[in-house]
Amino acid sequence: MKSFSYVAAPDTATALRAIADGDRVKFLAGGTNLVDLMRERIEQPDTVVDISRLPMAGVEELPDGGLRIGALTTNSGVAADPLVWTRYPVLAQAILNGASPQLRNMATVGGNLLQRTRCLYFYDEAARCNKRAPGSGCDAIGGFSRGSAVLGVSDHCIATHPSDMAVALVLLDATVEVESTRGVRRIPIAEFHRVPGDAPHVETALAADELITAVELPPAPVAANSRYRKVRDRAAFAFALVSVAAALRVDDGVVTEVRLALGGVGTKPWRATEAERALLGRPATDESFRLAADAELGSATATEQNAFKVELARRTIVTTLRRLLTGGSAA
């Protein structure tokens, strides 16, 4: 780890000025990802601005029935909140399926949205990685790719996005509030993360001088019947091979509202809009669920090693929707 200056920001204005004044400045909250990246010399800031003491934690009910979640709220804090459990159970389940209790107690909502891929080649200085060194190439393509993405990939990157929480937030149409010395702006979560294209190192819509201050969830009655299902190699502290966030409403045997999002298969948290369109107005049956999954996964681009993810995702979508239909747990 290279030497760096440390600033403990006493208020938001100080934090924003610090990052606006320097080219190599990073915010530090829980540090569960940034510190690892600094140890591996992937992130090498000249200055680290500690924002952990800023008043940006907590879950607040909004007048319209939605929720505002401060960016410094810990993952554990979000998952334990009664309003989250009642109105958005998929979010609590997604968080509890991620990492370990110790990490969830430290990791923050803002930091979770900004965490970087766990692709093996990203962390290997001897490997070519366009995320770490733009223009160097991608050794995952043609290399070990069992955990790589099958949706949103490009000729320059096939790395998956690692977050569980972000998959649920995409399902819930969250809005990310960010602030800089230029003011406040709001970014729809669907536009926050980017597919790699020809610039895999540009992972979000966040400008270099902006700070995530909150995430807002709009009211979503369908989310009361929602589940998160995660398939992984082991039961704890493992990233998803495939995960499915789903919310479902059925009237007289017909799907009248549905939301689907996928993790472990996309280069960003993946909203399954094709599957949603294919399922809306259709009978709530396994056959309809499979056809919807096929509609989404038809654009998948797999390698020989990760082709199994396509069928695994199809089965996980069907199982999750079936259990929502019958009231069973999909956790």
Number of domains in the chain: 2
196: in domain = no
Give the global pTM: 0.96
267: in domain = yes
pLDDT band, residue 21 (cuts 50/70/90): confident
Number of neighbouring beta carbons within 10 Å of residue 116: 19
Q: What is the CATH number of the domain that holds 299?
A: 3.30.390.50
pLDDT band, residue 38 (cuts 50/70/90): very high
203: in domain = no
* Three-state secondary structure call for residue 273: helix
Please indicate whether residue 2 or residue 10 has the higher confidence score (pLDDT). 10
- pLDDT of residue 168 exceeding 60, the answer is yes
30: in domain = yes
Residue-number span of the structural domain to which 46 is assigned: 5-50
127: in domain = no
Number of neighbouring beta carbons within 10 Å of residue 22: 17
Q: What are phi and psi of 211, to 5 degrees?
A: -120, 130
281: in domain = yes
Q: Is residue 327 classed exposed, middle or buried when 0-12, 13-18 and 19+ CB atoms within 10 A define those classes?
A: exposed
For 81-114, what is each residue's pLDDT tens digit? 999 999 999 999 999 999 999 999 999 999 999 9
245: in domain = yes
Alpha carbons 41 and 313: distance in angstroms, whole number: 34
Query: Mean of the per-residue pLDDT values for the chain?
Result: 96
pLDDT band, residue 1 (cuts 50/70/90): confident
For 64-77, what is each residue's pLDDT tens digit? 999 999 999 999 99
Give DSSP secondary structure letters for 31-43: -TTHHHHHHTTSS
10: in domain = yes
Q: What is the CATH number of the domain that holds 32?
A: 3.30.43
Q: What would the mean pLDDT of 314-326 be, rounded to a whole number?
A: 97
- pLDDT of residue 329 exceeding 90, the answer is no
Number of H helices, E strands in the chain: 12, 12
